Amino acid sequence: MLILLHLCSVFLLVGLGFYVFAADPRRRAHQAFAAFISFLALWTIKDLIFWDFYPIDAAAGVWAAASFIIALLMNFVLVAFAWVFPENSRTPRRKAAILLAPALIFAPAAAFGLLWDKAGFIDGQFAIKLTPLAYAFVTYVYFLFFYGSIVLFGKYRKYRGTESGSQLGAILLALVITGALKTVANIVFPLFGNYDLIPLSSIFVLPGVLIYAYAIFNFRLFSLTSALTQFRLFPVAYKVAICIAAVAVSSFVIFQIPIVWWAFHNGMDAEAWRRYLVFSVISALVPNLLLVLLVLRTVLRPLKRVTLAAVAVAKGSYGAEVDLRKTNDEIGVLAESFNKMSRKLADDIEELRLLNERMIETERLSAMGTLAAGVAREVSAPLGAISAKIEAMRREEGHSTGTREDLSLIASQIALVTDIIADMKAFGRMDGTVKKSVSVNDVVLASLRLTSMGVNDAQIETDLDANSPRVLGDEGGLIQLVLDLIRKVRLDPPSELTPISISTYTAGAKVLIDIAQTSGVADSSSHSETDAASLDLWISQKLVSGHQGTLSSFVDERNCKRFTIALPLLEQKDAARVLTPSPF
């Protein structure tokens, strides 16, 4: 019965340790747990060998030395775990060196048998007589145990109320259970001369180990969610481990057991050992070849296909995909992600190609527009002179009816040419109508610089929004708009410079630019707007409406003229998607 308990304990420990470690091999808490499980498995194997196969005096000393050293190592790991969990922080090396320095004395003492005077069996009962150094050793081991527990308790108080706090609470419970059972089996009962529970001490640790693993695995170790997660993403490490275990068990059952029976059924002589060794080597070839085949099929062949697809993409075959059956491991996820990336890359490159074609067309139109605008400027001056001369001739008296008809025809044709020139000028401004994200503060500052009055002019007050709101528009057009309005407000009346204030601010989904006089004029009706001024304001209205905004103009109670431009606010999340046109 004891041997079955020890075997079950070993298999449970190895499986549990591998399961937790493979879940996150780079996490220090999982590494510490795997080390703890390894030492505990050694402890169980040590008990299995001694109590189930060699319960003799000659082996008692080896068992005792192994017990002392493994107990020391397990408590070392406990302290390291307390340092790194749950922050995944590094082990403090200086503190570790100071804390673990006594082990340089106690470990050799245990290895050379200085911790006991006698260990063996008396009348069929195990007994061990310890030396004073052994009590110092036990005190040091319990010091490490309580030090690690205190560190974990301090972290529990820090993280109480969180998932990490719940994990630490469960781990402390596991330590209490493990420490109590081990103390009763290995310390309390032997002090009263009862050593019956020592063979079971490795079994007593299992409840604490299960709670320990359950806690650091975020309380999902035995949950349905955790089990389903393993089916959704079954790591390659698990597949390889299962392949190795399956081949090992199958090889043992199919080959080793028959070979052992055939070789030793007549006794364990030299000929039997010769038969066993020769046929064991031969029988090992089959499972090893099968294992290599399984690893190649599970890992290397899918990786080769992913590599070939990556090389194809690197050579320009955008959109190439991995021809791989969908699997629920890391390679399957890698292949699926690669295929998505390759398709997205092909789509993006096609979009860039189309965008480049549109940019080339835009640049071609821009060049044509610049040429048209230049031609229009060159033609407009002489055409204006001709138009003026024709109008003058039409006002003169003494022309015959035929001459006046000819002059009227020429005037109509000049008007037609004027319309064509206007269209050419508009075409020449097409590149300027491309809208982009523009800061209204920058627009105001640029306009002030262009007025030759200076931003620091004493007669100009500015109150710009500190958040520098942005709009979607033509920066050059907006600067011209603000510049015209500044001049209109500042030079009203035309005979003097009027102090003004300029402010920018947001109101809901609008950005407002306010341009106003700071002191009223003597008589706002003493001067009238010229036709040019009216036309200038109409142009400003059209420019604002082209930006989906409004322009309002009014005179307040102090006879101060005020213009307010309202433009749609460009949100920050939308500004990031605005394509700024290339200046080239």
Residues 113, 68: contact at Cβ < 8 Å? no
Do residue 358 and residue 465 come from a single domain? no
pLDDT at position 513, please?
93
For the whole model, what pTM was predicted? 0.50
On whether residue 337 sits in a domain, the answer given is no
Do residue 405 and residue 442 come from a single domain? no
Per-residue pLDDT band at 545 (split at 50, 70, 90): confident
Domain that holds residue 110: 2-232
Of 298-312, 350-364, 524-538, 547-561, where does mean pLDDT reach its minimum? 524-538
Q: For the residues 508-519, what does the mean pLDDT come to? A: 86
Measure the CA angle with vertex 503, ends 499 and 504; round to 5°: 160
Do residue 48 and residue 192 come from a single domain? yes
Do residue 196 and residue 48 come from a single domain? yes
Do residue 54 and residue 199 come from a single domain? yes
Do residue 128 and residue 76 come from a single domain? yes
Give dist(CA 143, CA 153) in Å, integer.
15
pLDDT at position 4, please?
82
On whether residue 582 sits in a domain, the answer given is no
How many domains, the chain? 4
Do residue 37 and residue 152 come from a single domain? yes
Higher pLDDT, 413 or 309: 309
Q: Domain boundary residue among 403, 430, 457?
A: 430
On whether residue 470 sits in a domain, the answer given is yes
Do residue 227 and residue 238 come from a single domain? no
Give dist(CA 557, CA 224) in Å, integer.
77
Q: Domain boundary residue among 232, 261, 287?
A: 232
Measure the CA angle with vertex 179, ends 85 and 183; round to 5°: 155
Amino acid at 349: I
Q: 88: which residues sit within 8 A by CB, 6+ positions away?
A: 27, 28, 29
Element (H, E) at 266: none
Beta bridge partners of 551: 565
Per-residue pLDDT band at 526 (split at 50, 70, 90): very low
pLDDT at position 316, please?
84
Has residue 489 got a pLDDT over 70?
yes
Has residue 457 got a pLDDT over 60?
no
On whether residue 356 sits in a domain, the answer given is yes
Do residue 194 and residue 57 come from a single domain? yes
On whether residue 333 sits in a domain, the answer given is no
Has residue 374 got a pLDDT over 70?
yes
Instruction: Please give the C-alpha separations between residue 544 and each of 278, 336, 366, 568, in angstroms, as whole numbers.
Output: 97, 51, 23, 11
Look at residues 290, 209, 175, 276 and name the one whose alpha carbon lies nearest to residue 243.
290
Torsion of CA 273, 275, 280, 283, to 10 degrees: -170
Give dist(CA 299, CA 69) in Å, integer.
39
Q: What is the mean pLDDT of the chain?
A: 79
pLDDT of 204-215, one tens digit each? 778 877 877 777
493 upstream amide cis, omega within 30 of 0: yes
Residues 47, 59: contact at Cβ < 8 Å? no
pLDDT of 231-254, one tens digit each? 456 677 777 777 787 888 888 888
CATH number at residue 382: 1.10.287
Give dist(CA 13, CA 205) in Å, integer.
10
On whether residue 584 sits in a domain, the answer given is no
CATH number at residue 85: 1.20.1070.10
Do residue 399 and residue 440 come from a single domain? no
CATH number at residue 439: 3.30.565.10
Do residue 50 and residue 171 come from a single domain? yes
Has residue 349 got a pLDDT over 70?
yes
Q: Domain boundary residue among 377, 404, 430?
A: 430
Has residue 576 got a pLDDT over 60?
no
Per-residue pLDDT band at 528 (split at 50, 70, 90): very low
Do residue 301 and residue 443 come from a single domain? no
On whether residue 327 sits in a domain, the answer given is no
Q: For the residues 487-493, what does the mean pLDDT come to? A: 67
